[in-house]
Amino acid sequence: MSTILIVEDNEKNMKLVRDILQFEGHATLEAATGAEGVRLATEKVPDLILMDIQLPDFDGAEALRRIRSERALDAIPILAVSASVMPDEQQKVINSGFDAFITKPIDLKHFRATVKRFLGPGRQTQ
- Helix ranges (H only) for 2-126 are 11-23, 34-44, 60-68, 87-95, 108-118
Q: What are the pLDDT digits (tens) for 77-124? A: 999 998 876 778 888 888 889 999 999 999 999 999 999 999 965 444
Q: Give yes or no for a contact between 55 and 26, defined as CB atoms under 8 angstroms apart.
A: no
What is the tens place of the pLDDT at every residue in 54-71? 999 999 999 999 999 999
pLDDT exceeds 50 at position 7: yes
Q: Kindly list the structural domains of the chain, giving each domain's residue range(s) and its CATH number in brackets, ordered by start.
A: 3-125 (3.40.50.2300)
Nearest CA among 29, 101, 22, 88 for reference residue 60: 101
Rounded to 5°, angle at Cα 94 from 90 and 98: 130
